[in-house]
Amino acid sequence: MSDTTVLVTGGTGFIGSYVVDDLLEAGHDVVAFDRSTNTRILEKLGVADAVEVRRGDVSEATDVIGAIRETGATHVVHLAALLTTTAREHPRSALQVNIEGTNNVLEAARILEDQVDRVAWASSAAVYAPPTNYTDDDGWVTEDDLIYPDTLYGATKAYNEHQARVYYEDHGVSHVGLRPTVAYGPYRETGGSAFLANIIEKPALGEPFAVEYGDQLIDWQYVKDIAQAFRKATFAPDARLSRRIYNVRGTVASIREAAETVEAILPDAQLEVSDDGDLPWTQTLDMTAAKDDLLYEPGYDLEKGFREYIEILRAEHGLEAL
């Protein structure tokens, strides 16, 4: 039994399940806290029997405080949120889940200050303005650049950065927020960028796919790298932190380069890439601080991440291995 217990909100979701898996692999006890007790992804990852799954709603303060107190959680990874499209369709729910839910987590950490050592939580690259607002010669966006989200989802994350700062400065709640970008990997189903999975999934299953955006850049962040980033944010010593909010990313590559990577793995892939459309996201994030302070280093480049993703998909559908 570990001397650390990590409660992961959103712990049965896509990223949450991988975070649970990563934490268990590192030797921690883990509680997956979520409104959904569907353990499908945890089962796919082979860890459903190794984690306590606790039903609860982050927008209900008593659920959050009770879960942390009763499980003896020493650390919290807070991932539960309504993502871009759902937030747009259900704005009041987005405020309740994303903002009030985060407040409930921070308030629980304040109340249980003798028990909770750290809250690591998911901000988002969505806090940044659209790409045309950044004109530096090197093209890389740092944590100190303009925050001006153009979605409600991004706005909730920007607000959370402010309230987390207040809880740290006024109440001593140790927190680290991460700004991930485009998460990809097996079992993702939701989110504004989930359609990009079809660049990989359709060819993996022998189906044609047409995609827009050609030479526009995406940060392709394999979900296992995001998981290890949250683990490192959870346990990095306070003394090593130069800030409390960090950019984290994977491999920056264009849609066309991604398609070419798939075609190199699957020579028979039927992918059509056009230059139509404009991506709304800022993807070229500098992560020097995360490397220096959190010792975060992506383990998956485009080829390695895509290949593992394709292998898992093909095995699940009874197709021949690569």
User: How many CA atoms lie less than 13 Å away from 216 in the CB half-sphere?
Assistant: 19
pLDDT at residue 315 is higher than 90: yes
Residue range 97-101: average pLDDT?
98
Give the pLDDT confidence of 28-41 residue by residue, as tens digits. Answer: 999 999 999 999 99
pTM, entire model: 0.96
| Residues 229-258, mean pLDDT to the nearest whole number | 97
State the average pLDDT over residues 93-117: 98
Query: pLDDT band for position 134 (50/70/90)?
Result: confident
Closest CA to 234 of 36, 67, 57, 4: 4
Pairing of strands 251-254, 217-222: antiparallel
By the 8 A CB rule, do 4 and 30 touch?
no
Per-residue confidence (pLDDT) for residue 192, from 0 to 100: 61
Does residue 282 register a pLDDT over 80? no
Tally Cβ neighbours within 10 Å of residue 40.
Answer: 13
Burial class (CB in 10 A: 0-12, 13-18, 19+), 161: buried
CA dist 260 and 265 (Å) reads 9
Q: Express as a percent the part of the chain with pLDDT over 90.
A: 89
For residue 75, the one-letter residue type is H
Cβ pair 130, 282 in contact under 8 A: yes
Average pLDDT over residues 231-252: 97
Look up residue 81 and give its two tokens.
């949120």
Place 136 in a pLDDT band, splitting at 50, 70 and 90.
low
Average pLDDT over residues 125-133: 90
Amino acid type, 233: A
| Six token digits for residue 113 | 């200050």
Residue 116, amino acid: V
**Range 184-218+251-279+304-316 has CATH code 3.90.25.10:** yes
Find the mean pLDDT for residues 97-110.
Answer: 98
CATH (residue range 5-183+222-249+286-298)? 3.40.50.720
pLDDT over 70 (residue 194) = no
Domain coordinates of the chain in residue numbers?
A: 5-183+222-249+286-298, 184-218+251-279+304-316
Is residue 188 a contact partner of residue 227, using CB atoms and an 8 Å limit?
no
The whole-number pLDDT of residue 191 equals 61
